[in-house]
Each structure stands twice: as structure tokens, then as C-alpha cells.
Structure 1
Amino acid sequence: MKKFWDAILGVVLILHVIAINFMSGARIAFSLPIVILGIILILYHFVKNKIKEREFLSKGFKIAKIFLCIGFICFLGIEAMIVTYPKHNEKKDDYILVLGAGLTNRINPSLILRERLDAAIECLKTNDKAYIVLSGGQGEDEDMPESHAMSKYLQEKGINNDRLILEDKSRDTNQNFEFSKKKIEEHSHKSLDEINVKIVTTDFHAFRSSILAKRNGYVNFDNYSCSTVWYLIPVTYTREAFAIVKSVLFDK
């Protein structure tokens, strides 16, 4: 069985992606890279003996394994920061900022997004005077901006429209903060450093959100995160490690 570990792992990864997409009723981000990795592992199983037989390829593969080990150690370090970052602060704030997370069937909040919205409703119990900022633009696979679908969901849950502020231009987390900053300052007639903001997102997303919030001038903020549904934990936490590297290097 040991000599088949690579092929078995490849099949497991592919089946896992199929299962979580089926259970979620929507395409889960980062599914394609995991499927590709699964295919590579399966192909590797059938060519690894040929690689060992050729000295040049064998040496190159040994060097590649060293870099893979270094990368894996860095990956574990990032995951440790994601897991240990504080995620649940219940203090009172002026604004509750809910970050978008995609739509299902082009018009309805995804499972992850619904959980964020439910968390925002929970926040209102201790933030009864706060306004909710809904941040999310329209993706290519969506029929409306995410913030509009988020607003509809909250109003159906009994939240008054007067308490909702919509930001509908952003396409990623960095823009969520950039464009929401303008909305908050316009609404409050104050500078952002005078305002307390509660960031509502999912637990795997809290650490990166705090990095990008600081880059966009958020000073007085805290996090209130909902939990990731169990079957999405492997893919969301893995994806987030790579997203953090991308945000640190490229998001301004």
C-alpha cells in the first residue's frame, strides 16, 4: 500500500473537491488547483521509476524536493498564524463591516456568506446602534453585486434597510476595505481613525483581513468571525495560506 500513496492521495484530493462542490451546491474557490495537484500525483506514480532511472532527472527531483520541504514548512507557519489569530471580539463598535464571499445560483448568498451575515445579526445584539456595511461587487458568474444579495438576505431576516450601507464595486478583500472606507467616512462625516469598526468574516479569513485593514487605514477595528463548515476547512485554510502570500506581496 505504501508504494501507492501518491496515486491514492491524488484520487482522494480529486474526490474531496467533487464532494465539497456537490455538498455546497456551488463551485468552491481553489478547487481547480487541488484537482490539478491530484492529477499530478497520479501521473507521478506512473513515471517515478523512470525518473529514478535517469541520473539527471533524479538529481533535479531531489533539488525540487528540498524546495518543496522548505515551502511546506513556510506553509505550516502561515497556517499557525491563521489558526491562532484572535477571531471573536464582542465589544461595541460604530460600524459592522461584512466582507463578501460569492453568490450561489448567481443571485443568492453562498453558504460562507450566509454564515457571515448571520454573524453580523449576532453582532447587533451588542451593537444595537451600529450600522452594517455590506461590501461586495459583482463577479462574472453573478447576476447582481454581492452586497445587494446580502442586503436582501438581511432584510428578509428583519434588519431595517436604514441600517444598511452598500458598497458594490469591490472585487477582492483589499478593495472591500478600500471602498468601504469611503462609504464609512461619507456616512459618518468623520475620519476613519475616529471610528470603531467590527470586521465580520469567516475564521480562516480573519488574519489576512486584519493585514489588509491596517494597510487601508483602519486603526480602531476588531474581528468577529463565524466558523467554517467542517467539510470546507481543508480547502479554505489551504487556499488562504496562498492568498496571504499574494496579499503581502502584491496588495497595496
Structure 2
Amino acid sequence: MQGKPKVLSCMCRSAKDITNLTMSQIHHTASLLLRSIVFTLGLVLFLDGLILILNGKIHLGIILPILIGIGLCIYVLYDQKIQYKLKNHQSIARLYRYAKTGFMLWLCSVIIFFLYLAKNIEHVQPHKEIKAMLVLGSGIINNQPTPALAARLDQAAQLHQQYPQALIIVTGGVGYAKQYSEAEVMSDYLQHKHHIAAQHIALEAQSTSTELNLKNSQAILKQHQLSPSSNIAIVTSDFHTLRAAAIARKQGYQDIHVVSAPTPLSIRYNAWLREYFAYLSGWILNEY
């Protein structure tokens, strides 16, 4: 009889040891899986950004993911070593934890912005005849529209079929190390791919931002006996519709119809991330 409590005690300890071992294995496996996912994500961000840069696209929405990707890979490969070295430097270790917390909070703000953007994308089909459409620029590569800009131009061409008499204003100046202005490339694309006559197209070839796209276009509207109060369609990418509409209203455009073009999947998160900073800077600079 006295042996039974000992046997039961041994069995309980064995079960407890097995449970602890199992939990340890689960924790180790989960940790390994999480680290693998984080490393893969970092590698994808880095390679995706690198490919876009090699194709001539350089902006904050591409550079930042590259830096984040490098940071995630370094975190996975060296975090344990860093944590070990920081044990004797509590103040630096605290800053390290703050930095990780700050990054997570920033990442949450980006996700919230993306959800807000997706929910509030403006796409207003004109309910009455438009007098003009403003096609906002989005970059050129090797004297050809980027995929995002091509989507905007295709959307404008489709709209032109409904309103063939509407003036099409293509906007965008000469970028760094570029031979032609963005507006010239846009006009050429519409004429050759969609067979739109040059007489229906006006070029605003001086601007370098959305704000200037809209501001400089007002002089062209005036030349064609139109004004910001005329029925005007603004054609831009889906992620850009909210900011473009807000800037237009701030500049006095009254009867606008924001028509969105889809963002190619291959550059979607880069473009949306760039818009995160553009939206923030526009708010700080009181553009809308």
C-alpha cells in the first residue's frame, strides 16, 4: 500500500515531464515557424523592391520595403545574439525593445490606412456629360507609361468612348534624367494604342506632383473656355482617388467625378505604401 503513493507520484512527475517536454517542443516549433515566415517575408520584400529598382522604379514605396526586408532578415538571423549581448546593457536593451514596439505600432497604422483606403476608394461614374478629363501622371520607364499609368490611360480611353467630345488633359513634366515629359508619353500612348485624335488631347507638361497637376491644368481649361466649375472627370489609380479628390476640392474644382483605374497587383502594396506617406505629408502641408 505504501508503494502506491510513490508509484502515483512517479507517474504524475512523468506525466508532468512529458507535458513540459511537449509544450517545449510546441513552443520551439512555433518559434521556428514564425521566424521562417518573418525571414521569408523579409526576403520577398527585399527581392521585390530590388527587381522594381532594376526596372527603373525608385520611390519611397519601394525603398522602404527593401529596408524593412533587410531589417526583418537581420532580426531573424541575429536577434538571439543581439539579445545575449544586450543583457549587460540594460539601457540599450530598453531602446531596442522600444524600437521593436514602435515598428509594430507603425505597421499597425499602415494596415489601418490600407483598410481605410480600400473601403473608401472613390469611383464615381459620371452621371452627366463631362466637358474634360484630367489624367494624372504616374511615372514613365524607357519613354513608356508605367503599368499604373497605362491603366489610368486605358481607363481614360474607355471614358472617351462615352464622351468623345471631352477634352483630355494629360499631366506630368520631365522627370530626372528623362528625355520626354510624362504628358508627351501619355499623349503618344493614347494616340497610338487607342487611336484618339491629337485634337482631343492637351498637354500639361510642367507639373511634378498631384497638386501641380491639378493647379496647372486650370490654365488649359481656361484656354478651352472651361473652368474648375465645369463637369470634369479626374482619372487616377484607385489608391490615389481620395487624396486627388481632396486636393481638387481644395483648389476650387466643384463638379468633379473621380474615376479610378485598378492598380496592377505586382506593384499594389508598393504604391499603397507610397500613398501612406503622401497622404500624411499632404495633410501636414495642408494640401487638402
Name the TM-score, length of structure 1 as normaliser.
Answer: 0.88
Q: Distance in 2 between matches of 1:7 and 1:70?
A: 20
Instruction: Determine if contact 1:96/1:198 at 8 Å carries over to the other structure.
Output: yes
Residues of 1 paired with 2:41 and 2:146: CA distance? 28
State whether residues 148 and 263 of structure 2, in contact with CA within 8 Å, keep that contact through their aligned partners in structure 1: yes
Equivalent pair of 1:81/1:207 in contact (CA under 8 Å):
no
Q: For 1:80, what is the secondary structure of its paired residue?
A: helix
State the partner residue of 1:142: 178
Among candidates 152, 156, 169, match of residue 133 of structure 1: 169
Match of 2:152, SS?
helix
Q: Which residue of 2 aligns with 1:199?
A: 234
**8 Å contact kept, 1:135–1:167:** yes
Q: 1:61 to 1:5 in 2, by over 3 A?
A: farther
Report the counterpart of residue 281 of structure 2 in structure 1: 246
Compute the displacement of 1:116 (Å). 1.0
Instruction: Give, as a single letter, the amino acid of the residue that structure 2 aligns with 1:8.
Output: T
CA pair 80-219 structure 1, distance change in 2 beyond 3 A: farther
Q: What do you get for the CA RMSD once the two structures are aligned?
A: 2.1
Contact 1:90 1:126 survives alignment (8 Å): no
Q: 1:77 aligns with which of 93, 112, 125?
A: 112
Measure, in 1, the Cα distance between the counterparts of 2:44 and 2:189: 36
For residues 131-180 of structure 1, the C-alpha deviation after alignment (integer angstroms, 9 at most, x for no partner) is 10111101013211110111111111211111111100001111111111
The aligned residue for residue 223 of structure 1 is 258
Q: Residue 197 of structure 1 aligns to a residue in which SS?
A: strand
Q: Is the 8 A contact 2:218 2:227 kept in 1?
A: no
Which whole-Å CA distance do the structure 1 matches of 2:122 and 2:98 have between them? 39
Write the distance in 2 (CA, Å) between the matches of 1:251 and 1:172. Answer: 14
1:49 corresponds to 2:80: yes
Greater displacement, 176-185 / 130-139 = 176-185
Alpha-carbon separation, structure 2, partners of 1:109 and 1:219: 29
2:205 aligned with 1:175, yes or no? no
Is 2:24 the partner of 1:27?
no
When structure 1 is superposed on structure 2, of 149-158 and 167-176 the one drifting more is 149-158
Deviation, structure 1 residue 90: 2.3
Runs (5+) with no aligned partner, structure 2: 1-31
> Which whole-Å CA distance do the structure 2 matches of 1:172 and 1:16 have between them?
25
Tell me which structure has the larger Cα radius of gyration: 2
Unaligned runs of 5+ in 1: none
For the Cα contact (< 8 Å) 2:50–2:66, is it kept in 1?
Answer: no
Displacement, 1:65?
A: 3.4
1:36 paired with 2:72, answer no
Match of 1:99 in 2: 136
Question: Equivalents in 2 of 1:96, 1:196: separation in Å?
Answer: 9
Percent identical across equivalent pairs?
26
Q: How far did 1:57 drift?
A: 2.1
Q: Does the CA-based 8 Å contact 1:82-1:206 persist in structure 2?
A: no
- Is the CA contact (8 Å cut-off) linking 1:135 and 1:146 kept in structure 2? yes
Tell me which amino acid in the other structure corresponds to 1:27.
Answer: K
Q: How many correspondences in the alignment? A: 247
TM-score (norm 2): 0.78
